[in-house]
């Protein structure tokens, strides 16, 4: 059997995906009592397509929500850790929740035979062998003998997590011992994806590098768009569509990251770029490129806010359209909208109404801004002079007739109108 510790975005997808594809019973646990209660009722507490249906299908049969960590781990031969590793103030990863979960597991490993512990949380290089392995050894375990240990990174996109897990383009297994690698390869056989066995540090680094690359592509696009803004004859959306026409971009969806906007956000890209930058400092090889990726991202949000303020005027009545960090999600962690609204308030715009089709409840809970919220796009635009498009929800491009009433500052270059994108 399998245990999954931590039932957020990654953990719940992992637990359900493993139950669905392998046919094995998965015991899942989270320290958050209310989260466990919601899941036991068949409710997914965040928006992620297809997870709700999978939970209703598998709950009580393929997936068991454990009341305690002991109940989840007791009969498992593989234990996946999917707890959060948020950024510390210095940019490094906070491993407290991960190490606490492992320490809590240690007494439970004394019975029931050999278990393999798998770190799925995103962590800096050398965490598995430099932090987790010593924890296990300090309790009397021998990694590779009495306990197995591996890092198995996830490559999930919010809004497509279920499909990304069920149909992965690669599975990376960074095992500390051969037996753990073979055990995980057998587990993942039903997925039919290429599997690569690497060192734990390589697996850890590959995940950070993946998100840092995506962040770099976005900042590259935003910096080029900033240059193009100086020359009115350049049609920015068209120029980037011409880049995408290069056949080398086709088929993988990567071109979507090479397109300008008003900054990247979310939980993973900013956190992992910061973590990689912190790691580069720690080893004495500070990455100027990653530092500039983060700096360009900060500049993009401020530059967009200044463009909005200039178009709206200090007494303008403004609508902010989009609060989630990306369309198709209700996640507002690290969302560009928060920084942009903060900049707008600093720039003197006080009459702001915000609207998002999905993320308003989470945004209001997470950010204490002196703004109002609208229930529909029409309501958000009612009585407004201008609108700042921050998140590229399809609803906005499908209702352009409503947007024609106001001056639109398009932060995502997505409305298909040159005059809107250039305001």
**CA-based nearest residue to 403, from 416, 386, 391, 418:** 386
115, 80 contact by CB (below 8 A): no
Which H or E run includes 355?
strand 352-355
183 backbone dihedrals φ, ψ, rounded to 5°: -65, -45
Burial group, residue 359, by CB count within 10 angstroms (0-12, 13-18, 19+): buried
Exposure class string for 215-226: b at 16+ Cβ within 10 A, else e: bbbbbbbbbbbb
Residues 6+ apart with CB under 8 A from 156: 9, 10, 13, 164, 165
49, 65 contact by CB (below 8 A): no
**CA dist list (Å): 22 to 15, 19, 149, 166, 194:** 11, 6, 20, 10, 16
Active site residue 398: no
**CA-based nearest residue to 165, from 27, 50, 330:** 50
386, 318 contact by CB (below 8 A): yes
- Catalytic residue chosen out of the listed positions 82, 262, 268, 398: 268
- Placement of tokens 């209703």 in the chain: 56
324 backbone dihedrals φ, ψ, rounded to 5°: -70, 155
Which residues are annotated as catalytic? 268
């Amino acid at each position: 059997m399998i245990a999954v510790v931590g039932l957020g975005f990654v953990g719940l997808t992992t637990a359900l995906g493993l139950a669905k594809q392998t046919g094995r019973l998965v015991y899942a646990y989270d320290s958050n009592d209310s989260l466990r209660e919601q899941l036991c009722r068949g409710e997914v507490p965040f928006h992620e397509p297809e997870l709700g249906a999978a939970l209703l299908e598998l709950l009580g049969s393929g997936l068991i929500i454990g009341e305690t960590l002991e109940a989840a781990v007791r009969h498992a031969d593989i234990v996946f850790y999917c707890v959060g590793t948020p950024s510390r103030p210095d940019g490094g990863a906070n491993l407290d929740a991960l190490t606490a979960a492992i320490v809590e597991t240690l007494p439970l490993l004394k019975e029931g035979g050999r278990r393999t512990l798998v770190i799925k949380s995103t962590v800096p290089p050398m965490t598995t062998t430099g932090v987790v392995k010593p924890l296990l050894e300090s309790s009397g375990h021998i990694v590779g003998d009495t306990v197995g240990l591996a890092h198995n990174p996830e490559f999930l996109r919010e809004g497509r997590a279920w499909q990304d897990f069920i149909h992965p383009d690669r599975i990376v297994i960074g095992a500390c011992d051969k037996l753990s690698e073979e055990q995980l390869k057998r587990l993942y056989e039903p997925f039919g994806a290429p599997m690569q066995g690497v060192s734990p540090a390589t697996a850890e680094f590959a995940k950070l590098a993946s998100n840092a690359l995506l962040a770099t592509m976005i900042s590259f696009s935003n910096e080029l768009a900033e240059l193009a803004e100086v020359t009115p004859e350049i049609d920015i959306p068209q120029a980037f569509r011409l880049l995408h026409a290069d056949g080398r971009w086709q088929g993988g969806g990567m071109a979507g990251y090479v397109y300008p906007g008003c900054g990247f956000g979310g939980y993973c890209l900013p956190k992992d770029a910061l973590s990689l930058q912190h790691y580069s400092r720690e080893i004495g090889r500070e990455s100027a490129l990653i530092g500039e990726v983060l700096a360009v991202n900060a500049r993009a949000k401020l530059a967009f806010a200044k463009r909005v303020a200039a178009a709206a005027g200090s007494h303008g009545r403004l609508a902010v359209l989009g609060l989630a960090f990306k369309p198709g999600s209700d996640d507002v962690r690290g969302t560009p909208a928060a920084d942009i609204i903060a900049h707008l308030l600093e720039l003197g715009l006080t009459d702001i109404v915000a609207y998002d089709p999905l993320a308003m409840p989470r945004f209001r809970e997470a950010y204490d801004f002196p703004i109002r919220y609208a229930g529909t796009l029409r309501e958000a635009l009612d009585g407004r002079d201008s609108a700042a498009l921050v998140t590229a929800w399809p609803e906005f491009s499908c209702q352009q007739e409503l947007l024609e009433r106001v001056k639109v500052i398009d932060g995502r270059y997505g409305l298909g109108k040159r005059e809107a994108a250039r305001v």
